Amino acid sequence: MKTRADMLAWRRQLLIAESNIQRAELAMEVQPIVYTLASVNIGMRIVRRVSQHPGWLAAIALGVLAIRPQRISSFLRLGTASLRLLRHAAPLLQSSPSTPPSIDAADRTPYADMRLAEPRTEALPAARRGNGG
């Protein structure tokens, strides 16, 4: 028979496991917002910098007039395509290989050893493995 302390310890471990799952789900849901806010921050820095140097706007306008607008449209298309590619590739470049966090023996939950893995072929009968046996 379990004592009250054992039941409370089990309940604590269960709550810790649930909070870890919720924390991971929240991090995944917040990640797109972080990338969006980072791009907004970059845009705001550009606007601040240009507002401090109004001569840059005149130089850009003269550059647009010097280069024909037809050429600019091809450069703009190339630039937007590369920005789109960079936005899609940035999370892949920033992420590191996922490693499971270390778990102390005191905080170990009954579900901590569960991992998603390939099915074990040794547990399957020989006929299902394709050995023809």
Q: Mean pLDDT across the chain, nearest whole number? A: 75
Q: Which helix (DSSP H) or strand (DSSP E) does residue 21 occupy?
A: helix 4-52
85 residue type, one letter: L
Q: pLDDT digit string (tens) for 7-41?
A: 999 999 999 999 999 999 999 998 888 888 888 88
**Structural element, H or E, at residue 127:** helix 126-129
What pLDDT was estimated at residue 117?
47
Distances (CA, A) of 54 to 42, 47, 51, 59, 102: 18, 11, 6, 9, 53
Q: Which amino acid is at 99?
A: T
Mean pLDDT score, 41-62: 86
The DSSP secondary-structure symbol of 103 reads -
